[in-house]
Structure 1
Amino acid sequence: MTALRRTATAVSLVLALFLTSAAAAGAQSTDPDPGATPEPAPAELLPVADPAMSLTVPSLVPGLTVVVTTDDAGHLTAVELHDAADPTSPAPPDYVATRVDHRRVRFENGATGTRVEVKAKHDKLETKVRTLTLAELIGTHTWNGDVLGDAVSVDFTVGDDAGTPTLAVDGVTTTLAHEIRGPETSTDGHETETEAKIRFTDDLGRRADLKIEVEVHLATGDDVSGGDD
């Protein structure tokens, strides 16, 4: 029997911020006060800021910062790429926008195979950086964003343990109560992923999670799909 060839075809770094609880305890009263201010809809509780979030990945060549802006309905209004060493620089010329709408923006670098994609849907905002090798993502990166009205900064490090991605949350700067869960590593078929979550809670009891995930997709034989949908 001939052994099947298994090689990494794509590696993805995903950061997703999503609402997990929209209302404080007691907000589900069956006899509300007619004069009380109603609880805001979930879409109003997640990033409404300028920018809503940014992700800096200095390990790429060149290092990259993704800056995302949303409106008060959670739609994308701008996605910009900058050199990580100079946040005022224009977008790297090798990145070409291949999809642009209010829910999804995608950039692709034909020279390196790197893809950057941002998705927004009501209570979720996600940035995904896809590369061809894990080595391109090894290093310390920074995520900044508006979480339940608070400016949050998260530093994290991606590593490589014999082909299995490792992840460490190095620091979280916020005035919100927060809890770090993980990281945990799992393998399913041709995919190995390592994931950590940070849960934020404000004084009203509202909660939001930031998920950090590194996923390695392995190919067997002629499979070069890269694990994308």
Structure 2
Amino acid sequence: MTPTKWVRIWNERLPDIPLTLLQVTAGEAFGVLRDGGADAGFVRLPVDDTDLSAIPLYTETTVVVIPKDHVVAAVDEVTTEDLADEVVLHPLDDTLDWERPPGEPAFERPATTADAIELVAAGIGLLLVPQSLARLHHRKDLTYRPVTDAPESRVALSWPQDATTDLVEDFIGIVRGRTVNSSRGRAKPPEEKQPPKAKRPAAPRRQPTTARGQRNAKSGGRPGKPRRRS
């Protein structure tokens, strides 16, 4: 699932409580959570667990962002070795855990991923980012390809440990795929018990009758007249 689908499910289950999405950079996300600017957020691991809780959600593929007319655009995927002779931009807000970034370093590191995207569009270099960031900064003149051996980025749902409210629990349940009736979700208020309905008195059974409409001899009714012998 994606955040868009989670928001849709939230609106279906809790239509009277609006859910507002706030877009921040990866570097700002933890500060926003700690300052109370958001109840929960999607962050990139690792998370400082001294004051924040986190649930790992998924791992993102790393891609290289390139101009559409670049030679790399002709293939389906590449390796870091394929980029060895390329200028690869390494922004200061890079979210990937590189031991050593691939390619040739640029003369200066861009301040942000958004700045690096502009430099890629200008033909100054290439950029490796998690796939969601490539989509976020989509441009018609750029495309991207998976890098099979690059570090991957793990995404988690995080929230302050001392602010695990009922609504946060509701959102955790949605993200984890719990159904509205899940026993692990927030407990529902007990339903009022309806008073038992009064039983209708059973109608007395009619005594069985013979084919002539007379009472059966075993019923204890009045016996009929004996027949005369001819």
Q: TM-score, normalised by structure 1?
A: 0.28
Going by fraction, where is helix more abundant, 1 or 2? 2
Going by fraction, where is strand more abundant, 1 or 2? 1
Q: TM-score, normalised by structure 2?
A: 0.28
Of the two, which has the highest radius of gyration? 2
